[in-house]
Each structure stands twice: as structure tokens, then as C-alpha cells.
């Protein structure tokens, strides 16, 4: 079997990266998987252990780093976030497409360890649309929205480090764009080597 593809997705808060990935995983079924990160932040209302994150103490998080259990990790705000390495490697071995929905620092570190990963940055159509979306969610006050927009500006500066940019204006278009990227990535020579060898063997 050909090996799987590791897809890093980053975007400022409010750009719909989770929605895009969830739609794709729904369509791809068993072929795809989203990595569940570990975090030291508090669980938010509506979130579930093992679904949105694995929620751990700072001590536990640091122990996991020491034990080499994290593929990457970062401090974002006052909390730690990281990707447990075991499940990612296992799913890639099974030939699956594995999504990491992580911030830019983590994206940079993953590329060092998995140079073949594909990095996609999701952008909003404009800063105005982004600020309207953040207001529309109704979860933040004006001050928190201003902070998120400031962080978004900084994160957007680093979008140039990514392999692809997907604009999320109409959700279904963004989903189709990411699917097209995955389709093309699956045809890359490093992924198709096994198949090529099979064909050459019988030539």
C-alpha cells in the first residue's frame, strides 16, 4: 500500500479551518483522520475529551514531551498545545490522509520532521469579513475580537511559508479546493513509487 499524506492546516481564528476539515473527513470516511491534539487549556462548553482535545495538566504535558511522545508542540497564549506522535505515524502507515489543524509555529516544526507534508493556509476573503464572522459567532466581546484580529494579522504574514493558500469565502468551494490539493498530492512521485515499481516489474 502507498503511504499516507500528512496535511497541515493553519488559519487565523474564525476562518473556518475546522469546518473545512470536518466536511472533507465526512466525505473521505475511513481514508482520512484528524489528529486530536493535547492541550493544557480549559475545556470549553460543548467540547469533549478525546474529541476536540486531550486535556492534560502542564506537568503531564511536559512529561509527554520528555518521553518523546509529541510530534510538535507550542505555547499559544498561556497554554501548551501539541500533536501526539503515535496516532499520526500509525495512520500514515495505514495509508490514510492525516490532518493536523495547528498554528503556524507547529506547522513549521512539522515540516522539519515530515518534509513531505503538505501545508495549507486558509485565509478569509478580507479582514472585514473575518471581523464580521468573529462578531457573528457571539462568543467574544469587542476587546477579545480586536485581540483575535491582531493575532490574525500576524499569522497572515506567515502564510507565505505554506505550500497552498485556500480562500474560504463559500465553504463548499474551499472544501473542493482542499480536496483538489489532496488529490494532486496523492499523485506525487514519492507517494506513487510503490505503484510505479509494480508496473516496471512487469514491463
- Which residue stretch of 95-103, 111-119, 134-142, 192-200 sits at the interface with ligand 5GP (rule: CB under 6 A)? 95-103
Return the residue of 33, 40, 64, 83 that touches ligand 5GP, per CB under 6 A: 83
Q: 16 vs 106, which CB is nearer to ligand 5GP?
A: 106
Helix, coil or strand: residue 81? strand
Cell of 66: 520528555
Smallest CA-to-CA distance from 109 within 10, 3, 196, 4 is with: 10
Q: What's the DSSP call for residue 44?
A: P
In whole angstroms, what is the distance from residue 24 CA to residue 176 CA? 9
Q: Are 148 and 5 in contact (CB under 8 A)?
A: no
Q: 46 vs 115, which CB is nearer to ligand 5GP?
A: 46
Full strand arrangement of the beta sheet holding 79-84: 53-55, 37-39, 79-84, 70-76
Nearest residue to ligand 5GP, by Cβ distance, number only: 106
76 contributes a contact to ligand 5GP by CB under 6 A: yes
Return the residue of 37, 40, 64, 168 that touches ligand 5GP, per CB under 6 A: 37
Which residues would be at the binding site for ligand 5GP (CB under 6 A)? 37, 41, 72, 74, 76, 81-83, 101-103, 105-106
Amino acid at each position: 500500500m502507498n503511504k499516507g499524506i500528512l496535511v497541515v492546516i493553519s488559519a487565523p481564528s474564525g476562518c473556518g479551518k475546522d469546518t473545512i476539515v470536518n466536511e472533507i473527513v465526512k466525505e473521505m470516511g475511513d481514508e482520512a483522520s484528524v489528529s486530536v491534539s493535547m492541550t493544557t487549556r480549559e475545556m470549553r462548553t460543548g467540547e469533549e475529551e478525546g474529541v476536540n482535545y486531550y486535556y492534560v495538566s502542564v506537568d503531564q504535558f511536559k512529561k509527554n514531551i520528555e518521553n518523546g511522545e509529541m510530534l510538535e508542540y507550542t505555547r499559544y497564549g498561556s497554554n501548551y498545545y501539541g500533536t501526539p506522535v503515535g496516532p499520526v505515524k500509525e495512520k500514515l502507515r495505514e495509508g490514510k490522509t492525516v490532518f493536523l489543524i495547528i498554528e503556524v509555529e507547529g506547522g513549521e516544526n512539522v515540516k522539519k520532521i515530515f518534509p513531505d507534508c503538505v501545508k495549507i493556509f486558509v485565509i478569509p476573503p478580507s479582514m472585514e469579513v473575518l471581523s464580521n464572522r468573529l462578531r457573528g459567532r457571539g462568543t467574544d466581546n469587542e476587546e477579545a475580537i480586536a485581540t483575535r484580529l491582531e493575532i490574525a494579522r500576524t499569522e497572515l504574514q506567515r502564510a507565505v511559508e505554506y505550500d497552498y493558500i485556500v480562500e474560504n469565502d463559500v465553504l463548499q468551494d474551499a472544501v473542493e479546493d482542499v480536496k483538489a490539493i489532496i488529490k494532486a498530492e496523492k499523485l506525487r512521485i514519492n507517494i506513487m513509487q510503490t505503484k510505479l515499481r509494480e508496473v516496471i516489474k512487469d514491463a
